[in-house]
Structure 1
């Protein structure tokens, strides 16, 4: 699941890239940062290297980002926001469906949202551990839990006496754990390839136990 998936929102006061060219510049800087992050690790990256890879100048960098850490937090925030949006959209689309259809659909939505090389997502999940305060982590994590809870409550066969909030926390914990650890592994590409089947199997078994309760 996964601001960062757990970092704070972008710094206030920074210029927002509203125009098309500005958006392209901002995106180029973010892409360059992620590329260097995978290749060299956060500590070794410099702002000058980022702008060189992005094909921009230092002036352009500081129009949008206050520092390298600011860029890191923006990158984390946007990737996490995309994951949350994908989960929310899938939950809305599956409203009223049985639990055994809901689980695989939400897993598939999260899998599809993890676009790009597995190594980049591994770098993302490693970086969020460096920049996420406990408060930020909890806040963002709870947003994912709430989406799961809403999805469970709307399932056609969710038992009326089942604690949806508690069940949602278990769902988020299982799926988030499987996703993050797969992408953080040294063989991230191979581990990620098996993710949809593994996460679906685990989640389906748990949801079946809820429906049977």
Structure 2
């Protein structure tokens, strides 16, 4: 039974509510999503050739290292980076950065078991592709945060293939397994597309690295 304090607060009820948020992954993710929505935005870290962009909600994960250290090791304080190059993927990175601005998370959790179900909720055949491109979603389908509510943009087919290769290569190289969190990072942020895809691949570098 809850005990009322002199101030009228039901402390056990508060404790149970907090415990529930921590213990139940779905409730925790929903709660964190609400927080992300209040802290939407992007942040530039470093300057010059070592400048990169992260979600504002995830910026605390990179300030424990210098920009040079983070990029050199592709991680900071044991948080691994998955890096997307705006010079190669200007429209993919536009989708990511505008999703961050809308409050989508900058730290994702790999979850291959959720991918099939997530793909049934985003980038459906009904998604409009007026310029002959492909549908790209953020957060990615192969993450715990993907699926319903993900932001969808039309992007060039080449970029979509590069993004898939970037994810699979980095997962293997960094040993990112299901259940592991990672930080999404955009390098060359000045090369992010300024507007939606209009049918032309504008990337300065049209290789996938």
TM superposition score normalised by structure 1: 0.27
TM superposition score normalised by structure 2: 0.28
Say which structure is richer in helix: 1
Say which structure is richer in strand: 2
Larger RCO (alpha carbons 8 Å, 6+ apart): 1
